[in-house]
Chains A and B, each alone.
Chain A
Amino acid sequence: MSLVLAVDDTRALRSMLADCLKKGGHQVVLAADGVEALDKLRQHKPDMVITDLNMPRMNGLDFIEAARREPEGRALPMLLLTTETAQSLKDRARAVKATGWLNKPFDPGQILSLVDQLS
C-alpha cells in the first residue's frame, strides 16, 4: 500500500483518480495545483505523485521541477497524466525529470499497476 499524491485542477478527474487508487488499496492525498501539491508533498511525504500538466498557479512540469529540489521529491516517482501530446512538452517533462508521461483518458488498471510497480 502506498501513499499517492494526486494532483489535478479538475475536480472530477481528481475524484476519479482518488477513487481508482483507493480501490487499489492505496492512500491518497489530493491537490488542485502545483503550489498546493508542493505543500502536500512536504507535509505528507507521499510514495508517489500523479499530476496533471495544465493547472492554475503552478503547472505539472513546474511542480515536478520544484519537487525534485525538495528532499521529499528528489527520488520520488512522479507521473504526468495529461491530454497534452506535444513533443516539446514531453521533452520538457524529461528535462524536469518526470518519471513518466501518461495520456488521458487514464486506464485505472494501468494506473494501479504503475503505482504498484514504481512505489
Chain B
Amino acid sequence: MDDDEDFRSLFFSEARELLEQLQEHLNLLAEDAGDDETVHAAFRAVHSVKGGAAAFGFDVLIGFAHIFETVMDRIRSGTMQLDGSLAQTLLRSGDVMQILVENTESGSEDSVPGMARLQAELEALAGVEPSAAAEPAAGDDSPSADSDLDEDAVPEASEIIVRITPDESFAEAGHDMVRLIRSAREKGLSEVHVEGQVPPVTTFDPRQNPLTWELVFHTEGPVAALRSFFTIYEHAAQVEFLDSSDDYLEEDLDASDDSQAQDAPAGDAEPDTDPARGSLAAPNADASGESGSAQKRGEAAKSLRVEISRIDRLVNLVGEMLITQAALGQQTADIENREMADVALAVDTMSRQLRELQESVMAIRAQPVKSVFRRMPRVVRDLSEKLGKEARLELHGEHTEVDATVIEELTEPLTHMIRNAMDHGLESNDERDTLDKPRVGRIRLAAEHKGERVIITVEDDGRGVNRERVFAKALERGLVQPDDRLSPPEIDMLIFHPGFSTAQEVSSVSGRGVGMDVVKRKIQSLGGRFAMTSEPGKGTKFVITLPLTLAVMDGMTVSVADQKYILPLSTVVEALHVTRDNGRRLPDGTHLLERRGEYLKLLSLRHALDLPPREQGTEMAIVVDTETSGLIALTVDELIGQRQIVLKSLEANFKKINGISGATILGDGQVALILDIPALMNISPKTGAPAEVLH
C-alpha cells in the first residue's frame, strides 16, 4: 500500500494517545483511586496498541503488549489482586511500552533498559512459560493462507472434488450456497452435484433437509488456494476434500479428517477446525471489551484530529486580519460624513465579529492542562522512591484550558517546581513526625482561570524557605552585603537569582545546576508572572500567572524617538510624569524616581536602545514589574495607549535582537518592536544594588 506511511504515523499518534491514557489510568490504580472501569480502560488501551502493532507486524511491541495485556486481563477478571507492588510493575510496563513505541517509530533496534526483567516479571504474573511469551503474540503460529501457497508446489491441472454439507446455521451465519457456487466458478468449478432428498419446494427447509453438495474443480492453481477458499465455511458446514490422486493433498487435509464423519446430523455443529486461518495460543479471553470507555465514546463521535500547523496558519491569518481591521478602523474612525457613517458602522460590526472569530480559533487550540498535570504524579512517585520521602500530590483544575503552545512549555517549569518542593520543600517523614505534622507531605498542583489569564499554583506544606540559609548563601555569592537589611519576601526572592541554589550539596534531584531562576525566566518568556510566598514551618507557594495564548497579547504602545514600542501590558504597573520634583540623580549617575515615598530605579529607554537623548519636553515614566528585580521605571517620550497586538517572531523574520522579544504590525502598517524588559535591564549599564533594596 502506498499510504503505508500515513497509516504508520496514524498508528503512532494514536498509540501515543492511548499510552497517555494508560498512564493516567495506571496512576489512578497506583493511588488506589481507580475502579473497575479504570482497569477495563487500561486493559483496552494496551489491547488497542497491540491490535495496531499487530496490523503492522511490530513484533517486539506486540510481544510485550501481549504479556502486559494478559496480566491486565487477569486483573480485570479478578483472578489477580491489584496491590501496590503490582501497580508499580504496571506503571513501569507502561513506561516500557512508551519507549517501545518510540523506538519502533524511529526504527531503533535499541533494547529497552529493564524490559527483559519486566517482561519476565509479567510472565511470572501471567503464569506463562517465559519462552512462549517472549514470542511475538501473533507471530509464531499464524499459518496464513499465503504461506501455504508459497510452500505448495503447483500441481498439474487436476480434478479436485469438495463435498460440502451446510450445517443448520449455514444460512444464519450469512452464507449462501448460490453465492458460494458463483464465487467458486472463478476457482475452476466445473461441475456441481447435489446429494440428498429434496422435498417439494413448499415444505423445503434447508435446516431439516441438509443437502450435500459435491463441487468438482478443474484447477491448475495450488490446492491450498482452494483450501483457503473453503476455510471460511468450515464452522458452518462440513467440508471435505476428496482426491485420491494427490498424495500430499491427503496429508494436507488431515485437519478436516473428522469431518468425514459424513453422516453427522446437521444439528451437530461440533467445531472441527478452527475457522481462523491465523490462530494462536493466546490466553486472553474476553467478550466484554466494550466496558470502561464511557469517555472514549464521546471523543470518537465528537472530536476531530487536526494538525497543529493548520490551526497555527488559521491563528496567523486571524492575526493578520486583526491588523488589517485595525488599519481600517483607524481610517474610518474620524469619518463624520453622514454617507460614510454606514461604512463606519460596518467596520465596527466587522471588528466585533473578528474578535469572536479570534476567540473561536483560540478555543480550538485550547487544551486542558491535564496533559501536563498527569505527568506530575509520576515525578512525585519517582522522587518519593529516590529520596525515601513519602508525599501526596493533589491535582486540581486539570480541565482548565490553555493554549496548546503554552501547555507545551509548561512541563519543564512545573516538573522543576515539583522536584524542588519534593527535594527542598518537604521534610522527611520522620522529621514531620517530630514536628507534629502529618507524616506524609502534601503537594498541591492547581490550575484555574482568572479573566484572560490562567493561574497555576504549586504549593507544599513543607518547611518553607530557610531564610537564614538563603541569606548566608547570597552573602557567600556576593549577591548581598552583610549589613543589608532585607525583608523576608526580599530574601525569598534571592532564590530566583541566576545560579542561586540552596541545596548544600548538588543533589541528583533538583540541584542540577538549574535553579529556580530558570523556571522564572521560562514563565516570563511565556508572558507570565511568577510569585512566591513562604511561611517558615508551614510551606511554600508558587503562583504562576499565564496568558491564555501566546499568539495575541495586550500591549502598551509607547513612543521613543518617534518610534513606537510595545510593552507587555502584564508588566505595566502604572505611568507617571517625570518632573523635577520626583526625579533624583545619585552621584554615581543612577536616576531614581520617587513614587509615593519609594524610590525606583529610572531607566531611560532612549539610553537603553542607544538613541540620542531627548532635547526638550517632559518625559513619561512607566513603572514596570521586572519580575526578577522588582519594579523599575522606564522613561519614554509618550504614552500612546493600550491595544491588543499579534505577536510576530523577530527571529523567524529577521534575527534575534537582545532586548526585543518580538514585533507586531500596528494598524497603520508600521512595525513596532516588543520590549523584553529583563533583557533590557541586562544590557543597560548596571549600577548599584538591585532596585528593590533602595528604600
Interface stretch, picked from B45-53, B113-121, B547-555, B615-623, is B45-53
- Taking the complex as formed, is A53 at the interface, i.e. its CB lies under 8 A from any CB of chain B? yes
B686 within 8 A of A: no
- Contact among A15, A32, A61, A107 for B144, CB-based, below 8 A: A107
CA distance A106 to B51 in the complex (A): 11
- CB distance A76 to B174 under 8 Å? yes
> How far, in whole Å, are A113 and B6 apart by their CA atoms in the complex?
24
Q: Which segment of B242-250, B271-279, B564-572, B634-642 sits at the interface?
A: B271-279
Please name all residues of chain B whose beta carbon is closer than 8 Å to the beta carbon of A86 when the two chains form the complex. 282-286
Indicate whether B523 reaches chain A with its CB closer than 8 angstroms: no
Cβ-neighbour of A105 out of B10, B56, B236, B285 (below 8 A) = B56
Give A22-77 interface residues, CB cut-off 8 Å to B. Answer: 23, 32-34, 36, 52-59, 61-62, 68, 74-77
A103 touches B174 (CB 8 A): no
User: B51 near A83 (CB under 8 angstroms)?
Assistant: yes
Q: Does A117 contact B183, Cβ atoms closer than 8 Å?
A: yes
Instruction: Render B140-183 as a binary contact track against A, CB cut-off 8 A, 1 for contact.
Output: 00101110000000000000000000000101111110011001
| Between-chain CB contacts (< 8 Å), 17 pairs | A9-B300, A11-B14, A12-B14, A15-B6, A16-B55, A19-B3, A53-B289, A56-B290, A59-B288, A84-B282, A84-B284, A94-B275, A97-B169, A105-B56, A113-B229, A117-B180, A119-B179
Is there contact, CB below 8 Å, between B50 and A83? yes
Chain B residues closer than 8 Å to A97, beta-carbon distance = 169, 172-174
Residues of A within 8 A of B228 (CB): 110
* Interchain CA distance A109-B296 in the complex, whole Å: 32
Q: Does B213 contact A (CB under 8 A)?
A: no
- Check A104/B284 contact, CB under 8 A, given A59-B289, A90-B275: no
Query: Which B residues are closer than 8 A to A by beta carbons?
Result: 1, 3, 6-7, 10-11, 14, 44, 47-48, 50-52, 54-57, 137-138, 142, 144-146, 169, 171-176, 179-180, 183, 186, 228-229, 231-232, 235-236, 269, 271, 274-290, 293, 296-297, 300-301
Residue A112 lies at the interface, judged by CB distance under 8 Å to chain B: no
User: Given A10-B14, A102-B277, are A116 and B289 neighbors across the interface (CB < 8 Å)?
Assistant: no
A98 part of interface (Cβ distance < 8 Å): yes
Query: Once the chains bind, are A85 and B297 in contact (CB under 8 Å)?
Result: no
**In-complex Cβ contact of B174 among A75, A83, A89, A116 (8 A):** A75
A-B contact count (CB 8 A): 180
Residues of B within 8 Å of A19, CB to CB, are 1, 3, 7
> Roughly how many angstroms separate A107 CA and B3 CA in the complex, as a whole number?
15
CA–CA, A88 to B172, complex, Å? Answer: 20
**Is B10 within 8 A of A54, CB to CB?**
no
From the candidates A61, A68, A85, A105, name the one contacting B55 in the complex (CB within 8 A). A105
Q: Which residues of A contact B47 (CB under 8 A)?
A: 54, 83
Q: Are B232 and A103 closer than 8 Å at their CB atoms?
A: no
B288 contacts A13, C-beta separation under 8 Å: no
- Residue in A15, A16, A20, A118 whose CB lies within 8 Å of B183: A118
Is A54's CB under 8 angstroms from B275's CB?
A: no
Query: Pick the contact of A117 from B11, B232, B279, B296 — CB < 8 Å?
Result: B232
Residue of B nearest to A82 (CB): B51
A94 touches B285 (CB 8 A): no
Identify B274's interface contact among A61, A83, A90, A105, CB under 8 A: A90
In the complex, which residues of chain B have a beta carbon less than 8 angstroms from the beta carbon of A108? Answer: 1
Please indicate the chain B residues that have their CB under 8 angstroms from the CB of A1 in the complex.
none
Interfacial chain A residues near B137, Cβ < 8 Å: 83
Residues in B whose Cβ lies below 8 Å from that of A12: 7, 10-11, 14, 52, 55
Chain B residues positioned under 8 Å from A107 (CB to CB): 144-146
- The reply to whether B297 and A33 contact each other, CB–CB distance below 8 Å, is yes
Determine if B173 and A61 form an interchain contact, defined as CB atoms under 8 angstroms apart. Answer: no
How far is A107 from B278 in the complex, measured between Cα atoms in Å? 10
Answer yes or no: A5 CB below 8 A from chain B CBs. no
Given contacts A86-B284, A117-B229, contact A20 B179 (CB under 8 A): no
Q: Give the residue name and chain of the A residue nearest to B183 (CB).
A: A117
- Are B284 and A114 neighbours in the complex by a CB distance under 8 Å? no
Please tell me if the beta carbons of B183 and A100 are within 8 angstroms of each other in the complex: no
Q: How far apart are the CA atoms of A105 and B137 in the complex, in Å?
A: 11
Bound together, the chains give a CA A51 to CA B277 distance in angstroms of 16
Q: Kindly report which residue of chain A lies nearest to residue B57, judged by CB atoms.
A: A105
Given A84-B284, A97-B174, A118-B183, A102:B276 Cβ within 8 A: yes
A94/B271 contact (C-beta < 8 A), A62-B290, A77-B174 known: yes
**Do A99 and B276 touch (CB < 8 A)?**
no
Q: Is the CB of A102 within 8 A of B7?
A: no
Q: How far is the CA of A116 from the CA of B173 in the complex (A)?
A: 17
Is A23 a contact of B176 with CB atoms below 8 Å?
Answer: no
In the complex, the answer to whether A75 meets B176 with C-beta atoms within 8 Å is yes
CB distance from A74 to the nearest CB of B (A): 8
A77 touches B52 (CB 8 A): no
* Min CB–CB distance B133 → chain A (angstroms): 14
Max chain B CB contacts within 10 Å: which of A36, A56, A91, A109? A56
Tell me the nearest residue of chain A to B1, going by C-beta.
A19
User: If the complex has contacts A99-B173, A101-B276, A105-B54, are A10 and B48 also in contact, measured as CB distance less than 8 A?
Assistant: yes
Evaluate whether A15 and B7 lie within 8 angstroms (CB atoms) in the complex, with A54-B286, A118-B232 already known.
yes
On whether A33 and B290 interact (CB within 8 A), knowing A85-B282, A104-B55, the answer reads yes
Beta-carbon contact of A20 and B1 below 8 Å: yes
Kindly state the separation between the CA atoms of A19 and B280 in the bound complex, as whole angstroms.
27
Contact indicator B174/A78 (Cβ below 8 Å): yes
* B283 contact set on A, CB distance < 8 A: 86
CB distance from A72 to the nearest CB of B (A): 12
B51, B172, B228, B275 — most chain A CB neighbours (10 Å): B51
- Contact between A59 and B271 (Cβ–Cβ < 8 Å)? no
Q: Which residues of chain A come closer than 8 Å to B277, judged between CB atoms?
A: 102-103, 110
Residues of A near B56 (CB, < 8 A) are: 105
Is the pair A90, B1 in contact by a Cβ cutoff of 8 Å?
Answer: no
